[in-house]
């Protein structure tokens, strides 16, 4: 019942009572609307007769139209806020972070949802979610910047050539572009550009490596020529010297020769010996200098070649083989295992929740974790095992002459050793775990099929984390 029924009320009073209660039901959380409603209630209460009631009816109709518009606007605002909240939740689902700030924000939203869901409550929830998105964006920006620094340090090149200068200019242009907006790393165009730069870098390094090999080959060839020339000159000098000795012996053996004449001839031979000796000494000195320079050149080229070779197949951070090195050695080991019918297994490793380490402690700490983990694997490996960085926080270990069970035991050693590693950042300590997948080579295998099976086992291990899973033979 909207009003209390009273038999002694007049018709006008009854209508006033109904209208007053009806208007009170229309009250909202909007103070302006409520003020207008109170105004009309007071006006209704002042009605004395049917004429004043008819005049009031027109005002009520106008108010009803305005109230309808108000309700429509409120509905639109609610719809907009709900859509905003849904979009914010979708974005947050991608960027979710387990930090204290996020947890507190979600608790605040939870408390708000316990109250009556009004427009102001929806606005508060929307504000909290927007703040979370902005904080996530800030976190993303810092992560993108750190990633950009890592990428550009990796793409840097020590090669000197016209093509290398052109490559460095392209790299610098992209670096400048990302400096002002590092979030562009997520765009397809920038990723394609980076892919092209990586391909160019690899090509330049290969060309540089081949050039160094050719230079070293030419330097060795030149040194060999100089040594042969020196040997030949020494041999010729020896022959010439022996000729002079034979001439002296002939003169001394003559019986009827004038002493003055013999003296002149001996002095002539001595001068020739002196001349050829001086000439030979000069040649030896000259060739010795050339040999010394050649030796230095060869030594420098060997050092550059070694460095270039390491750049080609060694990961600069962890100092284990990179993917190129992996392909080179795995192809060789597969061929050997196939030809000689020997066992061969591989282990794929992936550090668990590694992105959280980067997000919480920064990429420098993440890099240190990767270094320590790589060193842990190397310390447990045999001399014949080949440790490689497959990419990011993933590593692949080639285990020659090991069957599935043997490789599994090795993988378990790595897992248990890893969970015992303790890291410290400022006043905080943290631990890491690793998941591993093990596969054994089959005669019909290619590099791709063998890695694919190990990757599937790793996927199974990642379901529980800190686990080792081997394939079923």
89 located within any domain? yes
Let me know whether 83 and 103 are in one domain: yes
What pLDDT is stored for residue 85 in this prediction? 53
Look at residues 65, 80, 114 and tell me which one is the last residue of a structural domain: 114
**Where does the pLDDT of residue 320 fall: very low under 50, low under 70, confident under 90, or very high at 90 and above?**
very high
Residue with the two structure tokens 């990586």: 198
pLDDT of 9 strictly over 50: no
Please check whether residue 182 lies inside any domain of the structure.
Answer: no
> What are the backbone dihedrals phi and psi of residue 181, each rounded to the nearest 5 degrees, phi first?
-150, 80
Same domain, residue pair 357 and 269: no
Reply yes or no on whether the pLDDT at 81 is more than 90: no
Q: pLDDT at residue 109 above 70?
A: no
Report the CATH number that the domain containing residue 332 is assigned in CATH: 3.30.70.270
| Domain assignment of residue 141, yes or no | no
Which one has a higher pLDDT value, 121 or 404?
404
Residue where a domain terminates, one of 282, 312, 342:
312
Q: Is 398 helix (H, G, I), strand (E, B) or coil?
A: strand
- Are residues 298 and 223 in contact, defined by beta-carbon separation less than 8 angstroms? yes
CA distances from 305 to 209, 319, 345 (A): 6, 17, 31
Name the pLDDT band for 435 (thresholds 50, 70, 90): very high
**Spatial strand order in the sheet of 434-440:** 386-391, 394-400, 344-351, 434-440, 468-470
- Are 239 and 289 contained in the same domain? yes
Report the first-to-last Cα separation within the chain, whole angstroms: 79
Side-chain half-sphere of 248: how many Cα atoms within 13 Å?
14
Strongest mean pLDDT among 99-108, 189-198, 264-273, 340-349: 340-349
Q: What is the chain's mean pLDDT, rounded? A: 78
Residues pairing with 394 in the sheet: 350, 391
> For residue range 233-249, what is the model confidence (pLDDT) as tens digits?
778 877 887 887 777 77
The residue count for the chain: 473
- Which tens digit of pLDDT belongs to each residue from 263-309? 777 778 778 878 878 887 887 788 788 778 878 887 887 787 777 77
pLDDT above 70 covers a percentage of the chain that reads: 75
Is residue 331 domain-shared with residue 300, that is, in the same domain?
no
252 shares its domain with 351: no
Percentage of the chain beyond pLDDT 90 is 27
- Do 297 and 403 sit in the same domain of this protein? no
Q: How far apart are CA 454 and CA 349, in angstroms?
A: 9
Same domain, 287 and 364: no
* Domain presence at residue 136: no
Most confident of 3-7, 27-31, 359-363: 359-363
When mean pLDDT is compared over 66-75, 257-266, 347-356, the highest value belongs to 347-356
pLDDT interval class at 356 (50, 70, 90) = confident
- Mean pLDDT, rounded, for 61-77: 69
Give the residue-averaged pLDDT of 81-90: 55
The tally of CA atoms less than 13 A away on the side-chain side of residue 327 is 6
Task: Name which residue leads in pLDDT, 164 or 377.
Answer: 377
pLDDT digits (tens, 9 = 90+) for 12-50: 777 677 777 777 777 776 777 778 778 877 877 777 776
Tell me, yes or no, whether 228 and 300 share the same domain.
yes
Report yes or no on 148 lying in a domain.
no
Determine which of 65-69, 262-266, 316-320 has the lowest per-residue pLDDT on average: 65-69
**51: region left, alpha or beta (phi > 0 left; psi from -120 to 50 alpha):** alpha
**Averaged pLDDT for residues 368-380:** 96
Q: How many CB atoms lie within 10 A of CB 432?
A: 20
- When pLDDT is cut at 50, 70 and 90, the band that residue 178 belongs to is confident
In a domain, 454, yes or no: yes
Task: Tell which of 97, 114, 131 closes a domain.
Answer: 114
Determine the Cα angle at 206 with ends 171 and 197, to 5°: 20
Task: Return the higher-pLDDT residue of 389 and 143.
Answer: 389
Residues 6+ apart with CB under 8 A from 466: 352, 415, 419, 433, 434, 435
Report DSSP state, residue 413: H
Q: For residues 94-104, give the mean pLDDT.
A: 53
Range of the domain at 439: 323-470
Same domain, 335 and 226: no
Whether residue 155 lies inside any domain: the answer is no
CB count within 10 Å of CB 211 equals: 16
Report how many domains make up the chain.
3
| Distance from C-alpha of 411 to C-alpha of 397, rounded to nearest angstrom | 9
Phi and psi at residue 434, to the nearest 5°? -140, 145
Q: For the CA atoms of the chain, what is the radius of gyration? A: 44
Looking at the fold, whether 306 and 335 belong to one and the same domain comes out as no
Task: Specify whether 334 is located in the same domain as 300.
Answer: no
Does some domain include residue 166? no
Question: Residue 18 in contact with residue 44, Cβ under 8 Å?
Answer: no
Q: Does residue 230 carry a pLDDT above 60?
A: yes
Same-domain pairing of 251 and 273: yes
């Amino acid at each position: 019942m909207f009003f209390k029924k009273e038999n002694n009320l007049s018709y006008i009073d009854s209508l006033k009572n109904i209208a007053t209660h009806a208007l009170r039901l229309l009250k909202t959380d909007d103070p302006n609307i409520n003020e207008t409603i109170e105004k009309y209630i007071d006006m209704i209460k002042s009605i004395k007769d049917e004429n004043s009631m008819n005049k009031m009816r027109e005002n009520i109709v106008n108010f009803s139209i305005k109230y309808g518009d108000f309700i429509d606007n409120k509905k639109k605002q609610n719809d907009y806020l709900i859509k905003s909240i849904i979009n914010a939740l979708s974005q947050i689902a991608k960027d979710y972070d387990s930090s204290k700030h996020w947890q507190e924000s979600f608790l605040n939203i939870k408390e708000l949802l316990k109250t009556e869901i009004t427009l102001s409550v929806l606005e508060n929830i929307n504000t909290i979610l927007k703040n979370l998105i902005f904080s996530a964006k800030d976190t993303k920006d810092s992560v993108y910047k750190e990633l950009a620094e890592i990428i550009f340090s990796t793409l840097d090149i020590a090669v000197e050539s016209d093509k290398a200068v052109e490559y460095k200019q392209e790299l610098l242009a992209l670096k400048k572009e990302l400096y002002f907006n590092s979030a562009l790393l997520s765009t397809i165009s920038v990723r394609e550009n980076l892919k092209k730069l990586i391909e160019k870098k690899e090509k330049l390094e290969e060309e540089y490596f081949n050039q160094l090999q050719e230079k070293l080959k030419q330097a060795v060839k030149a040194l060999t020529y100089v040594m042969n020339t020196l040997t030949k000159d020494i041999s010729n000098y020896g022959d010439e010297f022996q000729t002079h000795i034979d001439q002296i012996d002939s003169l001394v053996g003559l019986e009827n020769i004038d002493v003055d004449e013999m003296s002149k001839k001996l002095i002539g031979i001595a001068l020739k010996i002196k001349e050829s000796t001086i000439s030979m000494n000069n040649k030896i000195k000259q060739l010795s200098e050339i040999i010394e320079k050649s030796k230095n050149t060869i030594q420098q080229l060997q050092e550059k070649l070694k460095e270039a070779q390491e750049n080609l197949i060694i990961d600069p951070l962890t100092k284990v083989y990179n993917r190129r090195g992996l392909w080179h050695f795995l192809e060789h080991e597969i061929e050997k295992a196939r030809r000689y019918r020997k066992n061969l297994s591989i282990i794929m490793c992936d550090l668990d929740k590694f992105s959280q380490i980067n997000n919480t402690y920064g990429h420098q700490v993440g890099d240190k974790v990767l270094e320590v983990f790589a060193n842990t694997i190397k310390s447990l490996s045999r001399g014949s095992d080949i440790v490689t960085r497959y990419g990011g926080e993933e590593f692949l270990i080639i285990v020659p002459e090991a069957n599935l069970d043997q490789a599994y035991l090795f993988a378990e050693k790595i897992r248990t050793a890893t969970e015992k590693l303790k890291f410290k950042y400022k006043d905080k300590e943290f631990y890491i775990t690793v998941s591993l997948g093990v596969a054994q080579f089959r005669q019909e295998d290619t590099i791709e099929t063998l890695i694919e099976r190990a990757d599937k086992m790793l996927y199974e291990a990642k379901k529980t984390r800190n686990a080792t899973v081997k394939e079923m033979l």
